[in-house]
Amino acid sequence: MTKLSVRHLLGIKNLNENDIQTILDTATQFKEVINRPIKKVPSLRDITIANVFFENSTRTRLSFELAEKRLSADVVNFSASGSSVKKGETLLDTVNNILAMKVDMIVMRHSSPGAPHYLASRIPANVINAGDGTHEHPTQALLDAFSMREQLGDLAGKKIAIIGDILHSRVALSNIFCLQKLGAEVMVCGPSTLIPKFLADLGVKIGHNVKEALQWCDVANVLRIQLERQQIKYFPSLREYSLYFGINKAMLDELDKKIVLMHPGPINRGVELSSDAADSEHSIILNQVENGVAVRMAALYLLAQQ
């Protein structure tokens, strides 16, 4: 296995195509491991990893913890609620105290964009960004690319539509960077109020008609409306959003080709996706969850070699 060109996994923007392919190829081998009767390998048995989460998480946190345990690492979980952060301790002091206990790697989620980058420049441990505000979520983009590659093969020339709340999504930006580096064409689709103006500079197509986006794409990656990040109203109501931008099974059946339907979770059923679409034969949403463990095992393993 070749090495990565980086010491930290802070964002897809920092990776080159070879790094991405190396992680995806390594994940293929680890996916075979997690489907064995005995799902553990001793690859990281001398490594201690701290999961430092300053924001709520279900899938990502569980996925990282499972990946670490499958690699035989020692795992420490930290949650900001109930910690000294509530007493006024700074981010750097919190992490330095964790590192003083001889932790080798930090997996971090934070509400502030750039927090993992700030940390990586000031501590000796490897840092993995598990999501920083509305900036990036690199392992989600990697597992999405891995899931697409399983369905479609080489992604060069494939058409991927990212549909929904692009403005508040860290998944969207990481996916755009990752897919473009793998040679795919990317379109974003949603209400004009939820599509940042700068995206046109990244060379992505921009659309506002969901049916046209579905007809154009090979894969539709649907994002939820992130109401918890919205300080103002970007559309009249969830019901109206669902009428104009929601996807249901009838819309998928009307297409003249079969497309792949994805969602990073959690799904708001009845808003961006109807239940019959989310549970249809088009959907690979649960495959994404399974692949998340293999991809995160690959990222942890490769960074531990640096």
Q: Are residues 149 and 197 in the same domain?
A: yes
- Average pLDDT rounded to a whole number, residues 246-250: 96
Does the structure show a pLDDT above 90 at 44?
yes
pLDDT digits (tens, 9 = 90+) for 94-125: 899 988 999 999 999 999 999 999 999 999 99
Domain around 224 = 138-287
Q: Are residues 68 and 209 in the same domain?
A: no
Burial (CB count within 10 angstroms: exposed 0-12, middle 13-18, buried 19+), residue 252 = buried
Q: Are residues 87 and 175 in the same domain?
A: no
Residue 3, in any domain of the structure: no
Residue 7, in any domain of the structure: no
Residue 181, in any domain of the structure: yes
Whole-angstrom CA distances from 302 to 9, 295, 296 are 10, 11, 10
Q: Are residues 183 and 281 in the same domain?
A: yes
Which residues are known binding-site members for L-aspartate? 87, 170, 224
Residue 6, in any domain of the structure: no
Q: Does a cis peptide bond (omega within 30 degrees of 0) precede residue 266?
A: yes
Which tokens go with 93?
């002091």
- Average pLDDT rounded to a whole number, residues 224-232: 68
Residue 183, in any domain of the structure: yes
Residue 27, in any domain of the structure: yes
Q: Are residues 164 and 217 in the same domain?
A: yes
Q: Are residues 150 and 264 in the same domain?
A: yes
In b/e form, how buried is each residue of 295-305, taking b as 16+ CB within 10 angstroms? bbbbbbbbbbe
Cα-only R_g, the chain: 19
Full-model pTM: 0.94
Residue 12, in any domain of the structure: no
Q: Are residues 82 and 205 in the same domain?
A: no
Q: Are residues 36 and 112 in the same domain?
A: yes
Which residues are known binding-site members? 59-60, 87, 109, 137, 140, 170, 224, 265-266
- Mean predicted lDDT score pLDDT of the chain: 93
Q: Are residues 81 and 209 in the same domain?
A: no
- CATH number of the domain at 21, please: 3.40.50.1370
Which one-letter amino acid corresponds to residue 176? I
Task: Answer yes or no: are the C-beta atoms of 113 and 132 closer than 8 Å.
Answer: yes
User: Per the structure, how many domains does the chain have?
Assistant: 2
pLDDT digits (tens, 9 = 90+) for 155-201: 999 999 999 999 989 999 999 999 999 999 999 999 999 999 899 89
Q: Are residues 240 and 193 in the same domain?
A: yes
Q: Are residues 222 and 131 in the same domain?
A: no
Which residues are known binding-site members for carbamoyl phosphate? 59-60, 109, 137, 140, 265-266
Does the CA dihedral 274-168-11-197 come out positive or negative?
positive
Q: pLDDT band for position 86 (50/70/90)? A: low
Q: Are residues 211 and 294 in the same domain?
A: no
Which tokens go with 245?
């931008």
